[in-house]
């Protein structure tokens, strides 16, 4: 016996036929990003956000992927312009656990999608992979997310293979003044990527998510064989004073030319930042080995 569809089923089929595919609907979704790590992940998946935070600084510090000029700048990550966000009228707002305190305000504007990438004591790379896949699932970009995760892992492995076989010890630091540094440990993206490149992080003390509290430069002498990678930007006065800083110049790595200043990378980034850091770090270390 043939069962003909009823009127409701016919209307549902007709409406479905008028809708674009799921991926196309997701691509058309208006997405705003509060967190920079989520912003760079959106861009890596081919999603152009309608709005995001601190875009002038993002373009200077995170650098890549490039943010379209059409994106509205919402101001500070910690205190975005909610009224402007309301005017932009996103369909979805993406955040990380850092900005959960904003959820009540944000949910008055649009649904909120949050992912955790940084936890104290936890290497973040695998969490960034999971966040990428989850965001891809949410936006109908599953294939793009899986491909980006796979390509990132392959690239980091290939970059690691270009380094000398014996694991080198490396400090990854940032400088706030001419006498102190912050060290990136195992629960930072930089520290996690060092390990994945086959290197050894010379900083073994505890850190908090990204970098240890300011430490005196003399601590860098505790591992005299270690190279030093400085993540930009450097304060202008530090750049001017380091060449004549006696304490700095006494460090074994400085005396032996095992120091490099890397271009800026997002300290709290996701996989795009991991890839950028891996490229910059391996290029710098290769330059030292051939120096």
- Domain span at residue 192 reads 163-289
The answer on 128 and 222 residing in a single domain is no
Asked whether residue 131 is assigned to any structural domain, the reply reads yes
For the entire predicted model, the pTM comes to: 0.88
The answer on 221 and 277 residing in a single domain is yes
The answer on 266 and 233 residing in a single domain is yes
The domain tally of the chain equals 2
The answer on 238 and 189 residing in a single domain is yes
Q: What are phi and psi of 34, to 5 degrees?
A: -95, -40
The answer on 245 and 133 residing in a single domain is no
Distance of alpha carbon 227 from alpha carbon 192, whole angstroms? 17
Q: What is the CATH number of the domain that holds 137?
A: 3.40.50.1980
The answer on 249 and 173 residing in a single domain is yes
Distance of alpha carbon 128 from alpha carbon 189, whole angstroms? 9
> Which is it for the CA torsion 214, 218, 179, 173, positive or negative?
negative
The answer on 174 and 136 residing in a single domain is no
b/e string for 99-115 if b means 16 or more Cβ within 10 A? Answer: beebeeebeebbebbbb
For 148-161, how does the pLDDT look when each residue is reduced to its tens digit (9 = 90+)?
999 999 999 999 99
The answer on 220 and 189 residing in a single domain is yes
Domain boundary among 124, 154, 184: 154
Residues of the chain with pLDDT under 50: 1-2, 10-16, 18-20, 22-27
Q: Per the omega criterion (within 30 degrees of 0), is the bond before 65 cis?
A: yes
The terminus-to-terminus CA distance of the chain in angstroms comes to 83
Asked whether residue 14 is assigned to any structural domain, the reply reads no
Helix (H) or strand (E) holding 85: helix 82-88
Query: Is residue 184 within 8 Å of residue 173, measured between CB atoms?
Result: yes
The answer on 232 and 188 residing in a single domain is yes
The answer on 145 and 55 residing in a single domain is yes
Asked whether residue 116 is assigned to any structural domain, the reply reads yes
**pLDDT given for residue 211 in this prediction:** 59
Query: Is residue 125 within 8 Å of residue 117, measured between CB atoms?
Result: no
Asked whether residue 249 is assigned to any structural domain, the reply reads yes
**pLDDT given for residue 236 in this prediction:** 86
**pLDDT given for residue 145 in this prediction:** 99
Domain boundary among 101, 123, 154: 154
Domain boundary among 154, 184, 219: 154
**What are the beta bridge partners of residue 200?**
169
Q: What are phi and psi of 230, to 5 degrees?
A: -100, 125
The answer on 183 and 83 residing in a single domain is no
Tokens linked to 64: 């890549």
Distance of alpha carbon 265 from alpha carbon 255, whole angstroms? 26
Q: DSSP code of 5?
A: -
The answer on 269 and 168 residing in a single domain is yes
Distance of alpha carbon 40 from alpha carbon 129, whole angstroms? 13
For 213-267, how does the pLDDT look when each residue is reduced to its tens digit (9 = 90+)?
688 999 999 999 999 999 999 888 888 889 899 999 999 999 999 999 999 999 9
């Amino acid at each position: 016996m043939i069962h003909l569809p009823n009127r409701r089923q016919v209307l549902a089929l007709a409406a479905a036929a008028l809708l674009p595919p799921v991926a196309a609907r997701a691509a058309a979704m208006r997405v705003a990003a509060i967190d920079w790590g989520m912003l760079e992940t959106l861009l890596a998946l081919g999603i152009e956000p309608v709005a995001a935070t601190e875009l002038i600084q993002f373009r200077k510090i995170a650098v890549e992927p490039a943010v379209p000029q059409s994106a509205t700048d919402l101001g500070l990550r910690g205190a975005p312009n909610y009224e402007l966000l309301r005017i932009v009228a996103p369909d979805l707002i993406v955040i990380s656990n850092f900005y959960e305190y904003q959820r009540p305000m944000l949910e008055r504007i649009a649904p909120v999608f949050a992912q955790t990438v940084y936890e104290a004591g936890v290497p973040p790379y695998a969490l960034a992979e999971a966040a990428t896949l989850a965001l891809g699932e949410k936006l109908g970009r599953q294939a793009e997310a899986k491909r980006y995760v796979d390509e990132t892992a392959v690239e980091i492995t290939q970059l690691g293979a270009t380094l000398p076989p014996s694991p080198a010890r490396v400090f990854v630091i940032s400088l706030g003044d001419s006498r102190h540094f912050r060290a990136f440990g195992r629960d930072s993206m930089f520290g996690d990527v060092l390990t994945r490149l086959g290197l050894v992080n010379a900083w073994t003390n505890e850190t908090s998510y990204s970098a240890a509290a300011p430490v005196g430069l003399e601590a860098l002498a505790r591992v005299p064989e270690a190279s030093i990678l400085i993540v930009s930007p450097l304060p202008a006065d530090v750049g001017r004073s380091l060449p004549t800083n006696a304490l700095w110049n006494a460090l074994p790595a400085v005396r032996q030319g095992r120091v490099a200043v890397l271009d800026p990378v997002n300290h709290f980034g996701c996989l795009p930042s991991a890839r950028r850091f891996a490229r910059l770090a391996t290029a710098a270390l290769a330059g030292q080995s051939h120096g």
